[in-house]
């Protein structure tokens, strides 16, 4: 048995050794990665010197046990173009200064030019963005949206539905951190989506949300049971509103149109990250809107339909995994209870529940404009005031979003002190 195992072992080991040899040779012959080349520090001073060959270099020196150590980086890319995302050379010292530095015994080490936080620099000298803030962007997206529904009576499934649905989407997101005020302002503008084959339109004109992590107490409570004591209360209470949120022909209500005119809410953040970027938020508020059981009634004027007002609530979370802004998780659960106050359904109250869980990850960037993969699961249960039934739908989405002008994700913890 041992004599038979030895040839078999040799037949297995020889190909493995050959593969290992080829891999080691390839790695040994490959050029050094940019991460292996030292870079000038962006937060430290540097000098611009002209070499005897007439080339301008950036020099950044520091004291070391064996004598001064100086990083020397070209001031141009390998293609001869100017460096991007680098500090300017305000003054260039002539060749004698470089020769004097070389003669001083300083160790000159080839390096790459400095880059600001959120960027890296390739061996060619070109700077490229490696961190992204997806809370600040304009995005365009395409996705596949298979949708499953518990249909209302009389609703027919159109051809290609539910697996043939596609969706286009767009939106404008802005998020501003105020470190001195220890607060963050989130805005969403002109956000909308449209599905193909089985047309469904959603749109949001504008929304705003405010959150904070104040040090100053909102109020203080003094007690006099025994020794007088003082308790400072600093609740993480915020607020927000949205204007003109439209849902036209959702799958389970193909003839309807719901237009929420305005909604306002208070929010409480039981957990927030140090820069208010990630959070867990609980909301409660009121809204006013109009509901059309048959959107074709709009042809008779805006006086048709049923006005409603009611209670709104939500639990919302967002998480940025790591500080690079390459991975995000969003989860929302909303409950609405509109009360019809005008029209043929006046006096009726209905329930609307929606939930979603989404993951978005940046795959690559084209000229620093990120392309991300987004997958999500969403569900909803809505009462039909006309038929008195509850329609349920579940949809899955998988698609790509191309974002424009997303700045680098910068981790900026809030200061200990805030403005009065």
pLDDT, one tens digit per residue, over 188-225 is 999 999 988 778 899 999 999 999 988 777 778 898 88
Instruction: Give 4's pLDDT tier (boundaries 50, 70, 90).
Output: very low
- 235 pLDDT band (50/70/90 cuts)? confident
Q: In this predicted model, which residue has the larger pLDDT, 420 or 316?
A: 316
Identify the residue whose tokens are 């007690």: 223
User: Which spans in 299-381 are helix H?
Assistant: none
For residue 102, give every residue at least 6 positions away whose Cβ sits within 8 Å of its Cβ, in sequence order, or none: 108
Among the four given CATH numbers 2.60.220, 2.40.230, 2.30.29, 3.30.420, the one describing domain 137-404 = 2.40.230
Q: Nearest to residue 129, comparing CAs of 327, 369, 323?
A: 369
Q: Write down the domain spans for the chain.
A: 1-30, 37-123, 137-404
Buried-exposed string 387-402: b where 16+ CB fall within 10 A, e elsewhere: eeebbebbbbbebebb
Task: Give the Cα separation of 249 and 403 in Å (integer).
Answer: 28
User: Which pLDDT band, with edges at 50, 70 and 90, does 34 fall under?
Assistant: very low
Q: What is the mean pLDDT of residues 238-264?
A: 88
In the block, which residue shows the tokens 């705003």?
Answer: 208
Percent of the chain with pLDDT over 70: 86
Task: Say what percent of the chain tops pLDDT 90.
Answer: 57
User: Would residue 414 be called left, alpha or beta, if left means φ above 0 and alpha means ψ between -120 and 50 degrees?
Assistant: beta
What is the Cα–Cα distance from 377 to 333, expressed in whole angstroms?
Answer: 12
pLDDT (0 to 100) of residue 164: 73
126-150 average pLDDT score = 92
Burial (Cβ within 10 Å: 0-12, 13-18, ≥19) of residue 338: buried
Averaged pLDDT, 247-270: 87
- Asked if residue 129 lies in contact with residue 152, where contact means CB atoms within 8 angstroms, the answer is no
Q: What is the pTM of this model?
A: 0.82
Helix (H, G, I), strand (E, B) or coil at 98: helix
* DSSP designation for 146: -
Is pLDDT of 84 > 70?
yes
Round the average pLDDT of the chain to a whole number and report it: 85
Q: Classify 19 as helix, strand or coil.
A: helix
């Amino acid at each position: 048995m041992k004599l038979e195992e030895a040839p078999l072992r040799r037949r297995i080991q020889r190909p493995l050794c050959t593969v290992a040899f080829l891999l080691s040779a390839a790695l040994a012959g490959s050029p050094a990665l940019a991460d292996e080349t030292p870079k000038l520090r962006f937060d430290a001073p540097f000098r611009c010197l002209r070499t005897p060959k007439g080339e301008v270099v950036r020099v950044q020196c520091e004291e070391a046990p064996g004598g001064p150590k100086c990083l020397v980086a070209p001031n141009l890319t390998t293609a001869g173009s100017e460096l991007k995302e680098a500090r300017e050379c305000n003054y260039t010292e002539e060749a004698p200064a470089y020769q004097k530095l070389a003669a001083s015994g300083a160790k000159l080490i080839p390096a790459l030019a400095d880059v600001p936080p959120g960027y890296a620099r390739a061996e060619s000298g070109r700077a490229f963005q490696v961190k992204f803030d997806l809370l600040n962007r304009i995005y365009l997206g395409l996705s596949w949206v298979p949708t499953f529904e518990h249909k209302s009576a009389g609703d027919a499934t159109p051809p290609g539905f539910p697996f043939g649905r596609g969706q286009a989407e767009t939106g404008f997101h802005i998020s501003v951190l105020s470190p001195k005020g220890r607060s963050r302002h989130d805005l969403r503008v002109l956000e909308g989506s449209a599905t193909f084959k089985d047309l469904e339109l959603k749109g949001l004109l504008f929304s705003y949300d405010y959150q904070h992590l104040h040090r100053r107490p909102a109020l203080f409570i003094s007690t006099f049971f025994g020794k007088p004591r003082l308790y400072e209360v600093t609740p993480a209470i915020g607020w927000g509103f949205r204007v003109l949120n439209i849902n036209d022909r959702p799958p389970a209500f193909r003839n309807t149109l719901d237009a929420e005119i305005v909604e306002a809410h208070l929010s409480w953040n039981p957990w927030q990250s140090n820069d208010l970027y990630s959070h867990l938020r609980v909301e409660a508020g009121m809204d006013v809107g109009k509901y059309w059981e048959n959107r074709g009634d709009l042809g008779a004027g805006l006086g048709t339909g049923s006005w409603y007002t009611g209670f709104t609530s939500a639990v919302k979370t967002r998480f940025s995994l790591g500080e690079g802004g390459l991975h995000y998780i969003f989860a929302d659960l909303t409950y609405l209870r509109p009360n019809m106050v005008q029209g043929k359904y006046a006096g009726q109250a209905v329930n609307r529940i929606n939930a979603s869980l989404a993951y978005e990850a940046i795959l690559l960037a084209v000229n620093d404009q990120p392309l991300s993969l987004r997958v999500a699961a969403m569900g909803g249960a809505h009462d039909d005031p006309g038929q008195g039934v509850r329609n349920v739908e579940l949809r899955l989405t998988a698609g790509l979003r191309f974002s424009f002008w997303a700045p680098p994700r910068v981790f900026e913890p809030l200061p200990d002190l805030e403005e009065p």
